[in-house]
């Protein structure tokens, strides 16, 4: 059977593949600690689940507007407005089935065949493939661990061509945990305005900040910058609602209308009861959010400390999200106790899951060969035991 050519330019998600392998081993009774999935281990807060139950009991199970329910869109406008000190109209908001679909719809609404999207790397694995599916060309601009994974403005400027349509940034970052400083984001905003292109910000981790890190939304700079900015957000990470699949886009009305046209011919809308839950999340108390953030911070510190104590491992301190992104290049080219040579980070990850029963994601999936991503959105017990296993397994490579 011949499949569509568009599938030839993309690959299955490496992060989901790692999680699937870990789950398969666990199903066989094998003790595996997985640092693969970017998913909080906390339960969804009770008041959010209760709102979904009430929606079900009230018969709120019918179609909603494509853009999302009016109460939710008004609430999102107010929620984002309060967070960023801006005023959003409901017509500038669209609700989708997860922030991933928000990104997908926005990129497909804006990118034509051959258009380019600039993506600083390391970057989330799906960005490149979503751009390719839209017929566009991802232009990856590497960043350096020595510079805390902050992109250089001169590198972005050099990457811009007449076909550039979007600069796409994620801060706090998946996979690095880096938080872009205000000067960098102001510089990117200026490039977007000067070149009349879009600046798309993936803000899904914006509430998960640690230490002295501060979040900055470039749309707040000026009305002109805001007119060039598309904001992607949602409830999955901060509210531990990954499976509920609710994401938001705040953008100029014309972009929202284009996304609604596209969404109307695909998913139509996010599930009605999930929208009710999302409404309760963003309008409800934030006590649970702060509790989760503080616990993530404890795990972050423990994971980074443990990784840095392993000879040969280098790890930049993550300032946001819930990932550590250590450099394990020192182990590439070494041999396992069985004599097998580790040729790349993919094989190193295979060694860790088979020899140490620890699942991590290879950095090459994010555009950073030799690094690996570990999620500390798991218990402190798992963090400590998993890093301990790595500390025992890595020195065995010679």
Whether residue 272 contacts residue 61, with contact meaning beta carbons closer than 8 Å, is answered with yes
Average pLDDT over residues 312-341: 97
Please give the DSSP secondary-structure letter assigned to residue 204.
Answer: T
- Is the per-residue pLDDT at 16 higher than 80? no
Instruction: Report pLDDT for 344.
Output: 95
- Is the per-residue pLDDT at 23 higher than 90? no
Segment 155-202, tens digit of pLDDT = 999 999 999 999 999 999 999 999 999 999 999 999 999 999 999 999
Of the listed ranges 138-147, 184-193, 279-288, 346-355, the one predicted with least confidence: 346-355
User: With pLDDT > 90 as the criterion, what percentage of the chain qualifies?
Assistant: 91
Average pLDDT over residues 286-300: 97
What mean pLDDT, rounded, does the chain reach? 96
Instruction: Report pLDDT for 30.
Output: 83
Q: Which helix (H) or strand (E) holds 167?
A: strand 164-170
Instruction: Report pLDDT for 266.
Output: 96
Distances (CA, A) of 385 to 31, 32, 382: 11, 10, 5
What tokens does 23 get? 């789950």
Q: Please name the residue ranges forming H helices in the chain.
A: 14-27, 46-57, 70-84, 99-110, 125-133, 153-159, 182-195, 223-226, 253-263, 272-283, 287-308, 345-351, 380-393
Distances (CA, A) of 9 to 109, 129, 163: 19, 7, 20
Instruction: Report pLDDT for 27.
Output: 82
Average pLDDT over residues 292-315: 98
Whether residue 371 contacts residue 34, with contact meaning beta carbons closer than 8 Å, is answered with no
Average pLDDT over residues 315-321: 98
Length of the chain: 398
pLDDT band at 20 (very low <50, low <70, confident <90, very high): confident
What tokens does 166 get? 């979007």
Cβ contacts of 35 within 8 Å, gap of 6 or more: 358, 359, 360, 361, 373, 374, 375, 376, 378, 382, 386
Instruction: Report pLDDT for 321.
Output: 98
- Is the per-residue pLDDT at 19 higher than 80? no
**pTM given for the model:** 0.95
Name the packing angle between helices 99-110 and 253-263 (round to 10°).
110
Average pLDDT over residues 6-15: 81
Segment 92-113, tens digit of pLDDT = 999 999 999 999 999 999 999 9
Answer left, alpha or beta for residue 367, where phi above 0 means left and psi between -120 and 50 means alpha.
left
**DSSP strand pairing (247-250 vs 93-96):** antiparallel
Instruction: Report pLDDT for 296.
Output: 98
Segment 63-84, tens digit of pLDDT = 999 999 999 999 999 999 999 9
Comparing 230 with 2, which gets the higher pLDDT?
230
Answer left, alpha or beta for residue 271, where phi above 0 means left and psi between -120 and 50 means alpha.
beta
User: Which domains, and CATH codes, for the chain?
Assistant: 5-43+288-396 (3.90.1150.10), 46-283 (3.40.640.10)
Average pLDDT over residues 202-213: 97
Of the listed ranges 45-54, 259-268, 345-354, the one predicted with least confidence: 345-354
Instruction: Report pLDDT for 8.
Output: 86
């Amino acid at each position: 059977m011949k499949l569509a050519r568009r599938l030839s330019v993309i690959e299955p998600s490496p992060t989901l593949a790692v999680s699937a392998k870990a789950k398969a081993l666990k199903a066989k009774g094998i003790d595996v600690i997985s640092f693969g999935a970017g998913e909080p281990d906390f339960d969804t807060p009770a008041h959010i689940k209760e709102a979904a139950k009430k929606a079900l009991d009230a018969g709120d199970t019918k179609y909603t507007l494509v853009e999302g329910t009016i109460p939710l869109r008004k609430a999102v406008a107010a929620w984002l407005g309060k967070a960023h000190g801006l005023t959003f109209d409901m017509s500038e908001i669209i609700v989708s089935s997860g922030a991933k679909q928000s990104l997908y719809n926005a990129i497909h609404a804006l990118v034509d065949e051959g258009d380019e999207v600039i993506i600083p790397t390391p970057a989330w694995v799906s960005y490149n493939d979503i751009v390719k599916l839209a017929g566009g060309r991802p232009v990856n601009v590497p960043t350096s661990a020595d510079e805390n994974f902050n992109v250089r403005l001169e590198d972005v400027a050099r990457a811009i061509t007449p076909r550039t349509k979007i600069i796409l940034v994620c801060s706090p970052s998946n996979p690095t945990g880096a938080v872009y400083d205000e000067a960098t984001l102001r510089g990117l905003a200026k490039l977007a305005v000067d070149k009349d292109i879009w600046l798309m910000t993936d803000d899904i981790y914006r509430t998960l900040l640690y230490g002295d890190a501060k979040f900055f939304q470039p749309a707040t700079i000026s009305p002109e910058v805001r007119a060039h900015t598309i904001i992607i957000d949602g409830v999955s990470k901060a509210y531990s609602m990954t499976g509920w699949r609710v994401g938001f886009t705040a953008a100029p009305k014309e972009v929202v209308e284009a996304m609604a046209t596209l969404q109307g011919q695909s998913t139509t809308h996010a599930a009605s009861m999930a929208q009710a839950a999302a409404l309760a999340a963003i309008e409800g108390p934030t006590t649970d959010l702060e509790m989760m953030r503080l616990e993530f911070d404890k795990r972050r510190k423990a994971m980074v400390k443990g990784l840095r104590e392993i000879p040969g491992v280098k790890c930049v301190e993550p300032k946001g999200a819930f990932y550590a992104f250590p450099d394990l290049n020192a182990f590439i080219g070494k041999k396992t106790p069985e004599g097998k040579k580790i040729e790349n980070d993919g094989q190193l990850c295979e060694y860790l899951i088979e020899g140490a029963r620890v699942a991590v994601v290879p950095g090459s999936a994010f555009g950073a060969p030799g690094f690996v991503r570990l999620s500390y959105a798991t218990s402190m017990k798992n963090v400590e035991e998993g890093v301990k296993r790595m500390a025992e397994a890595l020195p065995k490579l010679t």
